[in-house]
Amino acid sequence: MAILLDENTKVIVQGITGKQGTFHARSMIDYGTTVVAGVTPGKGGQEHLGVPVYDSMKEAVEATQATASVIFIPARFTYSAALEAIDAGIKLMTVITEGVPVRDTVRIKQRALENGVTMVGPNCPGLITPEASKIGIIPGEICKKGEVGIVSRSGTLTYEIIQNLTINGFGQSTCVGLGGDPIKGIDFNECLKWFEDDPQTKQIVLVGEIGGTGEQDAADLVKAEITKPVYGFIAGQTAPPGKQMGHAGAIVHGKSGTAKEKMRILSEAGITTVRTPSEIPMKMKENM
């Protein structure tokens, strides 16, 4: 069953005629994603990658009845593109763009919440339900259909963990890349609840990073509500306090945001923690 998307999810690509939009839309289509339209203002009426292009989200949604969109729009235009998607009636919006101003993200998130829109990102790799559909840039070839749900703040680290699981025979239900910005749409807890309620998902992998308190909040939820086995890894174990590592969401202020402290809190909540990504499938095999 998986979460958030399946082979029937109709997707619109915002910015489909741009370089990044074209490249990743083609990958999504090749993977089997039901991409029903693209939107690029001024290019309506054309066809690109075999799908119709519209000038606005309103036109695209009315013509296709799509419920999901993915945004490959430059950061300075992301705010208007996101609001256009929300106002058009999109219910799952994935913002791949990095460098979106925090002020814009806050306003987008508020509008999404007010309209019941599930927002993934910004600055994220997107999500994938293996052998069914993907939205974003996660490489489909490393994924395998199965029973492990993955939710992660990291991008490329997620790919490493997915590949390790696949090689060791552990397929995935859905993999969700939350994004690395300090302000973003959905967080760990939303995904953990969805995975808990999903009959296909039997085990969960949580991939955190230094900085912020999302992992601590997730630990509280796991301890109180999650019955399925959860495995946790925190990236940035050698990062010095106060130093930015990669992006603004991974800045440690004080003790609470360090990898060591987060791993302690996850472990105390009953989450099986590991020091390297390759240990995750090993721990799963031990618990079989």
Largest pairwise CA distance in the chain: 57
19 Cβ contact partners less than 8 Å away, ≥ 6 residues apart: none
Pairing of strands 10-14, 34-39: parallel
| HSE, side-chain direction, 13 A CA sphere, residue 238 | 1
| Whether 28 contacts 85, CB under 8 Å | no
CA 164 – CA 278 distance, rounded (Å): 6
Instruction: Tokens 């950061």: give the residue.
Output: 75
Which one of 24, 48, 247, 253 is the catalytic residue?
A: 247
Rounded-to-integer distance, Cα 67 and Cα 184, Å? 20
**Spatial distance between the Cα atoms of 216 and 266, rounded to a whole number of angstroms:** 7
3-state percent breakdown (helix, strand, coil) of the chain, nearest 5: 35, 25, 40
| Sheet bearing 126-129, strands edge to edge | 133-136, 126-129, 172-177, 145-152, 203-209, 230-235, 272-274
Whether 253 is a known active-site residue: answer no
One-character DSSP codes across 208-225? EESSSSHHHHHHHHHHHH
d(CA 189, CA 247): 22
Residues that are catalytic:
247
